[in-house]
Every structure is written in C-alpha cells, then in structure tokens.
Structure 1
Amino acid sequence: MKLIIGIIIVGIVIIFFVFLKRRQDEVEKNFQKRFAGKEIKIMDKYALYVAKQSDGYSHFRGSGYLVLTEDELYFERSVGRKIIKIPIGSIVKAEKTKKLGGQSPGKMMLKVVFRTKDGEQDAIAWKVKELEQWINEISMMVGNSA
C-alpha cells in the first residue's frame, strides 16, 4: 500500500513539473512575440512577485518574467497568468525595500513606486537578481522621461 501511495505521489510531482515546464515555454513564446523589435533594458526570467501596496495584506506570490523596455515595466507570472504593466511615465522611483504590504521575504527587494491611472501613488515589489542594476536602469529611464 505504501508503495502505491509513493508511486502516486511521484506521479503527481512529475505531472506538476511537466505542467510548469509547458507553462514556462508558453510564457517564453509569448514573451518573444510581445517584445520583438523592442529594446530590452534589463530582464529577469525568474523574478518573484512579492506584493502590491494597494492589495493590502492579500497577495499571491509567483515567479515570472520581469522586463524593462523603453516604454514600460512588464511582469508576467508563470503560473496564474497575472500580467502587470507599468508605463515608464507613471513610475515615480525605484528603490530597495525589505517589506511591502506586510510581506517580508527576508532579502532586499526591488520596490517600484508609481502613479495609477487615477493619479494615486502605489508601490509594487519583486525579488530580482541584480537588484542594484534594476534600480539604476529604472532610475535612468524615469530621469529620461521627466
């Protein structure tokens, strides 16, 4: 009986990883279409979406593509298909933070402060590789759009 349960668990894990690989391939394909012909300033294929200030304490973390182009900051989560687009012109600043919206993953995160369509200020955070480079690139873009 234990052997059968073990086999079932292993099968479920394998199916889950096959699903994740297929979804990652789908995101990659869509990513290549979406950004064809655009200059990508910086990107992280495994950025971890941590929190959005306006969501309060309710968050669904997830990793995916975070991309900075000449006109937007774009994030697409691999699972759950959450897409976030922030126009460069609405970004106020980029900085480091350890906590946002009650979320504190233990490492410094990229915090992007931006204005919503209603003109309200909001913030969003991701864990990214090369945090300093992200802050510098976004800061240069924000400085150029001002």
Structure 2
Amino acid sequence: MSNDSVQPGGVALRDPFYGAPFAEAVRRFWRKYTVFTGRASRAEFWWWWITSLAVGLALQLVPQAFTPDSPLFENPVGSYLFVLWGLATLIGSLALGARRLHDANLSGFWLFVNVVPGIGSIVFLVMCLLPTNPEGARFDL
C-alpha cells in the first residue's frame, strides 16, 4: 500500500491523522512501523501508547491467573511475554515517537533524551504533549 493511498479515516497514510480514532491509530502504527519520516498526531501517539501499556500489563497479569499462589509479577512467563512484546514493538514505537516529535517541529533525535536516567522519559512524554506546529511540515518528504 502506498503512502499516498487514502485510509479508512479519509487521511493519506503519509499525513498525520489529527483526532484519529483508536482503531485507526493502532492500524497506522503497524502500517508505518519503520517510517521515521513524516509526522504523527497526538491522537496517533497517545492511542498507541495506551494500547501498548495495556497489552504489556495484560501480558504480565494474565499468567498470574493460572498461578495464583505466586507473588504478583514474579511469574517468569509473564516477564518473557512482556519482553517479547517490547522487542516486537520497539522499532515501531521509536518511529512513532520520532514522527510525533516532528509534528511538534522537533528533531527525532530528541528520542535520545530517553536514555537519561529518571527524568529523560518524563521530558520525552512532555515533548509528546506539545501541540502541532505547522513548521513541522519540514519533516515531510
């Protein structure tokens, strides 16, 4: 499918989908898994972030239902599933983060702020809250 094709929401895949509904945001995440150029709306970013968090928690907690005697979060099956989920979505999440930063007219290299212990992830999430800046169109190719 080309980036110029119009998706079910009426927005081309190459363009940010402002006000994207949940299902379309998740669909666009997988379709643009390795695309680090262009922009992503806040809706696209946050719907995916919430989905990824929910799936990660479910992968940790569901194995607990089958081993109720073990302490919470100490079932290795849940940990392995969580790590597999993280590895499976790593590249796509980085790409989506870079596109979200582009929409706020920031360089995707700001993703590296996440490696700063403690405050780095908080700074990144605050940057992802920034509103759309029309000058971010410079990152569209």
Normalising to structure 2: TM-score of the pair?
0.27
Higher strand share: 1
TM-score normalised by length of structure 1: 0.26
More relative contact order in 1 or in 2 (CA 8 Å, sep 6+)? Answer: 2
Structure with greater helix share of residues: 2
Between structure 1 and structure 2, the one with the greater Rg is 1
